[in-house]
Structure 1
Amino acid sequence: MADVVLVEGLAVETVIGVYDWEREITQRLLVDLEMAWDNRVPAASDDVADALDYAAVSERVSQCIQALQPQLIETAAEAVATMLQQDFGVSWLRITVNKPGAVPAATSVGVRIERGQR
């Protein structure tokens, strides 16, 4: 399947980091998602019930990361990938988690993972 549903630049405010001072503040993560989804069915029915609900996905991604309060962005990415595959039935996904400002000389640092079969 070549169809993909996108969520780009999802801002999530959460506690993240390994340093003591990071555990006392919230920082912004930016999350990009690419999720395999057969869009032929919702396209034919024109019914949102047949589509991958990107609003619900976005809310759950935010909740997942905020509840987790991970030390590493790698942990956040893995938790989100697992949740999306289990709870939304996404067979394949690519997730990018960026932490802007983590390295002063860089615009952002981050990780990108792919899970599942396309």
Structure 2
Amino acid sequence: MADVISIRGLQVFAHHGVLAEERQIGQRFVIDVELTIALAQAGKSDSLADTVDYGSLIERVQEVVASERWNLIERVAQRVAETVFEFKPVLAVKVTVRKPDAPIRAEFDDVAVVITRDRPNNV
């Protein structure tokens, strides 16, 4: 049976987008990450060594999203998933990347991409 660690509403200011203005000025992205992980041993041992240090994971996701630049939020989501798999106990991940300030002439809460990835065999 798989367990879940959930990180919701992580806000990162970054320079992603198709439009030159987005890439120059930057904007806020809101990220949710849901890790599928076996937590039974951590529940028994009460040891950080048996789980994912989500503080470190958050810092790493912020670093990657803020320091790299891509056109599409689909790519942002993929890079977040790849970053999560740097943490060995993670079996699968669901990533949501929301772009609340997308340059679209309409009233909306946000535009979002949701991806789910299983750990690749070679990672």
Q: Residue 49 of structure 1: CA displacement?
A: 2.2
Match of residue 115 from structure 1: 117
TM value normalised by structure 1? 0.91
SS at match of 2:74: helix
- The alpha carbon displacement at 1:5 in A equals 0.6
8 Å CA contact 1:68–1:76 kept in 2: the answer is no
Q: Which residue of 1 aligns with 2:48?
A: 48
1:74 aligns with 2:74: yes
Unaligned runs of 5+ in 2: none
Q: CA deviation at 1:2?
A: 2.4
Structure 1 spans left out of the alignment, 5+ residues:
none
- TM (norm. structure 2) is 0.88
Mapped partners of 1:111, 1:77: distance in 2: 7
Q: Does the 8 Å CA contact 1:98/1:109 hold for their aligned counterparts?
A: yes
Contact 1:100 1:107 survives alignment (8 Å) = yes
Identity of aligned residues (%): 36
> CA RMSD of the aligned region, Å?
1.3
Which of residues 104, 107, 110 in structure 2 aligns to 1:105? 107
Which residue is 2:4 aligned to?
4
Q: How many residues align?
A: 116
Q: Deviations over 1:62-118 (max 9, x none)?
A: 111112221110011111112212x1122211000000021442100010000016x
> How many Å apart are 1:7 and its aligned residue?
0.4
SS of aligned partner of 1:112: strand
The amino acid across from 2:87 in the alignment is: F
* In 2: Cα distance, 1:40 partner to 1:97 partner: 29
Which aligned runs of 4 or more in structure 1 are off by greater than 4 angstroms? none
Question: Take 2:97 and 2:20, find their aligned partners in 1: how far apart are those partners?
Answer: 21
Cα distance in 1 for partners of 2:6, 2:39 equals 12
1:27 corresponds in structure 2 to 27
